[in-house]
Copies of this chain bind each other. A is one copy, B any other.
Amino acid sequence: MCSRPVPREPLHRVAVTGGTHGNEMSGICLVRHWLQAPGELQRPSFSAVPVLANLAAIAACRRYVGCDLNRTFISTFLTAKASPDDPYEVTRARELNQLLGPKASSQAFDFVLDLHNTTANVGTCLIIDTNQDVFAMHLCHHLQLQNPELPCRVILYQRPGEERFSLSSVTKNGISLELGPQPQGVLRADLFSQMRALVAAVLDFIELFNQGTAFPAFEMKAYSIVGTVDFPRTKDGHLAGTVHPRLQDQDFELLQPGAPIFQMFSGEDVLYEGESTVYPVFINEAAYYEKGIAFFQTKKLTFSVPALPALTSACTPGP
């Protein structure tokens, strides 16, 4: 894990990706629409490129067909010799690395916005790898200022020492947009419109930056992932209980030690045994059952983000 340098040049090569998970419909439908009608993705200094990421999974309307694409952008997969036994997503990760990267190279795209949905009640959520991503932190702050009516929370997803593994790690800068709750395989008009407006606001921010706008330093709260909690399970690994009604849909709300987190099928409550308060997120997300995660534990931290200086070589708008 290393910090991403603040851009010193305008961001011209920008991508918007949907369908990294093939059953998260808002991004899939937006990107498909923009592939036919790209006007919305144009700004004076750049045109964002719409990309459908996991084509096979989108066709099957499943999160993935072989393995989770959004965990495959690591050097083990990206640099290994291709084999006919590779899962589809490993092959596709290499293709996307060629298209948008190569990762950590000077040829990589300047920015990617990766569009996601969750079944959890997270509202509007911005996911960045670490607080060291200064450009991304400024972008998130801008979105929060632009949308005072939306709780537009920032999650720092990367754990200390982890290699960046997500699609957004392939480009020089990037964030993921996560909107919920929306069932897998369903497109809700409200979330579709909200995601569309947020994408526009992201592109507007990049345009401001490209035009030479400076952004002052600020302090920002963000939720940093510190652990995960699995469902109670039988010895066969099946569910033995589920998320407690008092925890369900309470993403980003304080969870105290001793509060109920699960309701067992046999009737008892399971209480939270953590040593300190946490803020649970991605509570009861469908895709995480198989990963052994009923919710993530996060800490709410305040970060001082340095100023984003104006470009010295800012664009002038086209004619």
Binding site for B on A (CB under 8 A): 29-30, 32-33, 36-37, 61-62, 119, 181-190, 192, 234, 238-239, 242-245, 248, 263, 265-266, 284-287, 289-290
Contact = CB atoms under 8 A, between A and B. Distances in A.
A220 to B, nearest CB: 31
Copies in the complex: 2
A182 B61 CA distance: 18
A64 B160 CA distance: 40
A265 to B, nearest CB: 4
Contact of A37 (B62, B188, B266, B287): B266
Given A30-B265, A187-B243, 20 more contacts: A29-B242, A61-B290, A62-B62, A181-B183, A183-B183, A183-B286, A184-B184, A184-B185, A185-B287, A185-B289, A186-B284, A186-B285, A187-B239, A188-B242, A188-B248, A188-B284, A189-B242, A189-B245, A190-B248, A192-B265
A286 B184 contact: yes
A29 B266 CA distance: 12
Contacts of A119: 183, 185-186
29 contacts: A29-B238, A30-B265, A32-B238, A36-B234, A61-B289, A62-B62, A119-B183, A119-B185, A119-B186, A181-B183, A183-B183, A183-B186, A184-B184, A184-B185, A185-B286, A185-B287, A185-B289, A187-B239, A187-B284, A188-B284, A189-B242, A189-B243, A189-B244, A189-B245, A189-B248, A189-B263, A190-B248, A192-B242, A192-B265
Nearest to A239: B29
Given A181-B183, A286-B183, A289-B61, A265 B188 contact: no
A238 B238 CA distance: 36
- Per DSSP, chain A at the interface is loop
A173 B257 CA distance: 49
Contacts of A30: 265
A245 B187 CA distance: 11
Contacts of A287: 185
